Structure 1
Amino acid sequence: MNKLLPFSITLSAILLASGAMAQNDAPATDAERHLGPLHGKGAWELITEEAAFSPRDTAEPLVYDGKMWISNGYYHGNILTRDLWSSTDGVTWTSVNEDTPYTGYSEMVAYDGKMWAIKGGVWTSTDGIEWTEVLEEAPFGVRAYGETVVFQDKIWQLGSGAGVWNTTDGVNWTRVLDDAPYSKRSACAVGVHDGKLWLCGGRVGVPNDPPEKGYESVTTYNDVWCSEDGVNWTRVLEHAPWSPRMWFVAETYRGYLWIFGGYDNVNNQNLGDVWYTKDGVTWYEFVSDPQWAARHEPTTYVYDDSLWMVAGNTWPVVNDVWRLTLPQEE
């Protein structure tokens, strides 16, 4: 029930209340921004504003044969680039293949001394030029926004739907889980960290209530899941301090699991934040000056003792290259 304040309120009380309001409106402190042990240890460095390859998002990364590789990607007007490039320094990029034979947007991994491209079919190469199709149709089909990683000496496919698959040869695939507890998730961030598989955020094809401002037909999440075997999954955090998002990526670097950028479907905007964690429960925001522009579907690497941020969609798509090198843990 509302009540009227006594007319005799003192000036000091007014000033006290005013001060409290000012304090509430003050910028967040370091603790409130979840800054952690890596705060102030390094900053992103712009390596090149325009790489030799065309601007793109959803390009697939690969570290193989001492190089960073970038495969395919989306360009304005729903144009799919089918090329493959490599670099040893992030500055000079070499065109290796102008018309790759594998399915566009194939997930890329390095495994068993080869490059692997997996989406619908399975292809391998040792040089990026000559490719061999080892499987015409994978049993999981063409999965949109799926993720492929190497874990426990196997190739794993997950993060698009509720199924989890693995293989040791690219030909014979085993479905180890039909109905993962994180449901039919896609556009999430998947990584390998601390001997576990991790799945963060992403979306499901069900409208939120109220509908999110971007794509109204989906609901996005900021939860965190992990598994030691790909079969038994534990939700370690229902709501991380970073906002719900999709089209973002994960890497492991300096003993932490990292996530980068993405798309905030709730507010229809790109994200440019970076977060890291050791256990999936306690997250810290990595704040840098300078910092790359907010973007979704970037391409990231752990290479040459550094984290790399490459390309992505900032509205418009870009082809810049950034590098972050942090000191070794003491």
Structure 2
Amino acid sequence: MRVALLVTSLGALVAGAFVACGDSPSATSDGGTDAANADGGLVDGVAPGDDAGGFDGGKVDAGYLVGPERGWARESVHRIVWKAPAVDAGDVAPVVEATLDDGVSWQPVPEEQINVADHRVMFQVPAAGGTRVRVRITDRGLVTDTGPKNLIASQKRTYRWTKLTETAPFGPRDGTGGLVYHGRLYAIGGWNPDLHPITLTTNDVWSSADGLSWVQEKANTFLNPLTFDNNADWAGRHFGGYVVHDDKMFIVGGDPLQDDYQTDVWSSTTGKTWTRVTGNWGVTPSRAFQHVTEFLGKIWVMGGQGLTDYGTKRDPSGAYSDVWSSPDGLSWTQTMPTSGVWAPRGIIGNNAVFQGRMWIVGGGLYEDPLYPTGRYFADTWSSADGASWTREAEDPPFSPRRYNSLATFDGRLWVLGGYNDAEGNLADNWYSGDGSNWYPEGDPGLVSRHAGTVWVLDAKTMFWGSGNAFYDDGVTEKWLADMWKIEAIP
């Protein structure tokens, strides 16, 4: 499968620095337990290559199992990891059992939920029986135990997926901005070096009422970076920040693919014409891949990364976990943390406000001379004010990833697609009713992808598509511009 395109941008984009949104196979998967510097958001205390989480749960001692602190919802899936004892007892398989009657009787956990090599159980909570569940693992004489978990009602839902097209008229692209505004879906910009070999990215805008029929609202004017007027129009970009705020569509920052950090903010009420709010938002240091959302009547910028290849002495490389907000996109104020600090990161697409809180789920850091291993995260955080953060799930069942998309749909928090070093582009999608208990959404036949775009049209209809989605059956290989409609089934 073709997961990546190597590109070189205007003599400054080094080979290997960005591969199809920049992903290259040399990053550390991370459960999100890095130490963080609350004063500046710089990564601190974790040497490159340290295992601070990731696929096997990271810093886990024998006898300790990773799992959410809340009750376990019926039918949800939970990652349980254990550290095998340093005893060579030959080819002895661990015994994994569960009880619904406080240990009176134990039943074996199905083998398909157990990964012995990774010391991991992907435990699916039974749909019925008991009021508490407990999982026990016996591995060469060492017994580890989750302890009893209270059972709560299932959050599982049923959804219908319909593929609308594989050839949306705006063409294949990833990192496209997705907004729903006045009942229409908007696709904004994106990255495709095959179609745009000089600029790599585009600044066109398309809209649709149904995800199938699209109208071009704004033609691409980003044809030559050397002659482009950044004061008159916004430069092409991918994976910027996109929100609806104050009854306007906003573009907030972007990426460094044009050999500098995009720190501008633009707004529009039509998608056709755009007004520059500011050319430099004042969020410091300069960065790319920040997470942007709209919450409590403000635009929020969280985290992001500066890269050595694009940094200057004034804007050095770094990774950030700081939080900024603005009532208008022009004046920005930093919110200082009062409790809870998530590890510095960015590269999280779209955004989610869920249960009166804004959310950080997954994400990561690029490979960079200061962070040569890169990072992938899976942990889940939420905040009601941007200052106090709660870790809702340390090690959820989905794998660490960056370029995943977030959404709130049908009363559920969603994580869609993404990329990591071990698996490449990802096709799995997950949802949760509380941010702690997660359910895998069934496989509708999606091509795996990262940097896809999600649009939530209304309470019962969501669209998902585009992104770095390559179809390869061994004979035919093509980059899809597909669109899927997801409907909640009562």
Is the counterpart of residue 50 in structure 1 residue 167 in structure 2? Answer: yes
1:312–1:205: structure 2 CA closer, same or farther, 3 Å change rule?
Answer: closer
Q: 2:457 aligns with which of 303, 306, 319?
A: 303
Task: Report the more deviating stretch, 233-242 or 76-85.
Answer: 76-85
From 257, 269, 279, the equivalent of 2:413 is 257
Seen in structure 2, the aligned counterparts of structure 1 residues 26 and 205 have a Cα distance that, compared at 3 Å, is: closer
> Residues 155, 34 of structure 1: CA spacing in aligned structure 2 closer, same or farther, 3 A cutoff?
farther
CA contact (8 A) 2:337 2:387 kept: no
CA shift in 2, pair 1:232/1:241, >3 Å:
same
Describe the shift of the 1:34–1:220 C-alpha distance in structure 2 as closer, same or farther (beyond 3 A). farther
The sequence identity of aligned pairs, in percent, is 31
Q: Say what the alpha-carbon RMSD is for the aligned residues.
A: 3.0
Q: 1:181 aligns with which of 341, 359, 374?
A: 341
Higher strand share: 1
**1:118 corresponds to:** 252
Q: Distance in 2 between matches of 1:277 and 1:149?
A: 19
Q: How does 1:165-204 map to 2 (within 5 A)?
A: 165-177=324-336, 181-188=341-348, 190-204=351-365
Q: CA 1:42/1:3 → structure 2, altered by over 3 Å: closer, same or farther? A: closer
Structure 1 counterpart of 2:234, from 89, 99, 102:
102
Instruction: Specify which of 269, 276, 280 is matched with residue 435 of structure 2.
Output: 280
**Matched residue type, 2:291:** E
Q: 1:149 aligns with which of 293, 308, 312?
A: 293
> What is the identity, as a one-letter code, of the residue corresponding to 2:434?
D
Structure 1 moving runs of 4+ over 4 Å: 1-5, 25-31, 33-37
Q: Cα distance, 1:165 vs. partner?
A: 0.9
2:227 pairs with 1:67 = no
Q: 1:2 to 1:227 in 2, by over 3 A?
A: closer
Alignment of 1:212-291 (within 5 A): 217-265=373-421, 267-288=422-443, 290-291=444-445
Is 1:135–2:278 an aligned residue pair? yes
Q: Flag the 1:291–1:139 CA change in 2: closer, same or farther, 3 A.
A: same
- Counterpart CA distance in 2 for 1:135 and 1:26 is 52
Aligned residues: 302
Equivalent residue for 1:212?
none
Matched, 1:325 2:487: yes
Question: How far apart, in 1, do the equivalents of 2:483 and 2:414 lie?
Answer: 18
Q: 1:24 maps to which residue?
A: 111
Deviation at 1:25, TM superposition (A): 5.7
Instruction: Give me the TM-score of the superposition, normalised by structure 2.
Output: 0.57
Determine if contact 1:57/1:317 at 8 Å carries over to the other structure: no
Q: Determine the C-alpha separation between the residues in 2 that align with 1:242 and 1:116.
A: 31
Alpha-carbon distance, 1:244 to partner: 0.7
Decide which moves more: 23-32 or 293-302: 23-32
Q: 1:183 to 1:96 in 2, by over 3 A?
A: same
Counterpart AA for 2:342: Y
- Shift of residue 216, structure 1, vs aligned partner: 5.9
1:294 aligned to 440, 448, 452, which one? 448
CA apart distance, 1:272 = 0.7
**TM-fit CA distance, 1:140:** 1.6
Q: Which residue in 2 is equivalent to 1:17?
A: none
Unmatched 5+ stretches in structure 2? 1-86, 92-107, 116-120, 128-153, 222-232, 254-262, 305-319, 471-477
1:82 aligns with 2:213: no
Q: TM-score, normalised by structure 1?
A: 0.82
